[in-house]
Amino acid sequence: MVSETKSGNVLDRIVEARRASVAHRKRVLPEAVLRMGAGKAEPVRDFPGALTREGLNVIAELKKASPSRGVLRAEFDAATLAAELEQAGAAALSVLTEEEFFQGDLNYMRQARKRVAVPVLRKDFIIDAWQIWESRATNADTFLLIVAALTQDSLQSFLALGRELGMEPLVEIHSRAELDRALAADARIIGVNNRDLRTLEVRVETSFELIELIPDDRIAVAESGLRSHEDLRKLRAAGFDASLIGEQLMTQPNAAAALSALLKPPSE
């Protein structure tokens, strides 16, 4: 099953490129092979549990580049970064695997997961069920679903498939309308992306505007534009269970030290 997108400029270009890439890869690697691989994959780690611990829970994101800023980290060793970020206190990891716009690679996700015990999320633009089977076959513990990039039928179908495979997806929204769609699909982990994927503009206020509308029985994750311990503390107080942080870590010489600083009050 392949979804359709009706979203705006930047997101449209990424999704269309992803659709072409997946179509090619499906011809090379049939879904039946991935299903066999998924059956032999390592057990799924508890992503929801990692996000609902006491204290500040950070999903540390391994991201080599971005469409808005270009290369973020020229020296990019996914395995070493993963191990260091786990040691620094990451509750979970997110690894970009989209090649064209983010210079990601599925091998980065594989390498990172081998080095850590925390759950690892595959961060990509999932537009086909084939990618979900691919994620599980390569030992991802969960994956991202972007509401703006999916039809409602696809969103519901992909959520169901993820749960069938033991993976609870992170469902990303940016507006009240997208939140309504996520809730209608029974999303259990909802990420509020402060970056508008159509324009790449960032407003941290988006998280605070939408958290009041997210039911208490859902896991809420704030994403993008988070730069300080105070940001994390305020979001936690507002009701978020976790935060996803990428560029703030990847642009620092020592990503682990940067994460440690985010997790501790400045006086410590």
CA distances from 4 to 70, 107, 152 (A): 27, 27, 10
> How far, in Å, CA of 223 to CA of 171, rounded?
11
pTM of this structure: 0.94
> How far, in Å, CA of 13 to CA of 93, rounded?
26
Whether 123 is catalytic = yes
Whether 61 is catalytic = yes
- SS3 percent helix, strand, coil of the chain, rounded to 5, is 45, 15, 40
> Between 255-263 and 229-238, two packed helices, what is the crossing angle to 10 degrees?
50
Q: Are 59 and 95 in contact (CB under 8 A)?
A: no
> Which residue ranges form the domains of the chain, and what is each CATH number?
9-263 (3.20.20.70)
> How far, in Å, CA of 157 to CA of 132, rounded?
11
Whether 223 is catalytic = yes
Whether 264 is catalytic = no
Whether 66 is catalytic = no
Q: What is the pLDDT along the chain (268 residues), one digit of tens a residue?
A: 333 334 458 899 999 999 999 999 999 999 999 999 999 999 999 999 999 999 999 999 999 999 888 999 999 999 999 999 999 999 999 999 999 999 999 999 999 999 999 999 999 999 999 999 999 999 999 999 999 999 999 999 999 999 999 999 999 999 999 999 999 999 999 999 998 888 888 899 999 999 999 999 999 999 999 999 999 999 999 999 999 999 999 999 999 999 999 999 776 5
Given the residues 3, 135, 154, 193, the one annotated as active site: 193
> Between 152-164 and 129-137, two packed helices, what is the crossing angle to 10 degrees?
20
